[in-house]
Amino acid sequence: MRVLIQRVTKASVKVEGKTIGAITNGLLLLVGITHSDTEKDVKWLAKKILNLRIFEDDEGKMNRSLLDVGGSILSVSQFTLYGDARKGNRPGFGQAAPPEEAQKTYAMFVDSLKQTGKVIVETGKFAAYMQVELINDGPVTLLLESPPVD
């Protein structure tokens, strides 16, 4: 899995002109699924994201997590995170999981984020054409990838 994390003051996602998910003060997650992703990858990334200390404390240091600040998540599936454009000018998406497999793994990921009961999690619509708007806070943008190195 690959998750592009953006700390935001607000973010929203629209499908066919209608807002289907929106948050303030939290994280926008763009989530890519590959063939080899497992429940272990899902749980590791969800835990890492919820506890990642990328919000500022009273001294201006990144020392607080999403759970610490009571932030929200907007999670959007994005198979193009597995686009490979090293050869030619059109990216190939052979590393992205097929839609049926990716949808199950993505749903498992969203459920893992919701399990704490402490975080509001909004989502886009899987496999839909979406428009995402955000105000990146900082800006702070990180890329996490599994599997973690043991």
Task: Decide if 18 is inside a domain.
Answer: yes
Task: Decide if 150 is inside a domain.
Answer: no
Q: What is the pTM of this model?
A: 0.94
Task: Decide if 87 is inside a domain.
Answer: yes
Q: What is the per-residue pLDDT for 116?
A: 85
The domain of 56 spans 2-145
Structurally, the chain folds into a number of domains equal to 1
- What's the gap between Cα 34 and its chain centre? 14
Q: What is the per-residue pLDDT for 40?
A: 94
Task: Decide if 131 is inside a domain.
Answer: yes
The residues annotated with a catalytic role in the active site are 80
In whole angstroms, what is the distance from residue 111 CA to residue 115 CA? Answer: 6
For 66-79, how does the pLDDT look when each residue is reduced to its tens digit (9 = 90+)?
Answer: 999 999 999 999 99
Ranges of the chain with pLDDT below 50: none
Task: Decide if 27 is inside a domain.
Answer: yes
Task: Decide if 127 is inside a domain.
Answer: yes
Can you give the CATH number for the domain in which 38 is found?
Answer: 3.50.80.10
**Contact partners, residue 8, CB within 8 Å, separation at least 6:** 23, 25, 26, 27, 28, 74, 134, 135, 136, 137
For 118-148, how does the pLDDT look when each residue is reduced to its tens digit (9 = 90+)?
Answer: 999 999 999 999 999 999 999 999 999 997 5
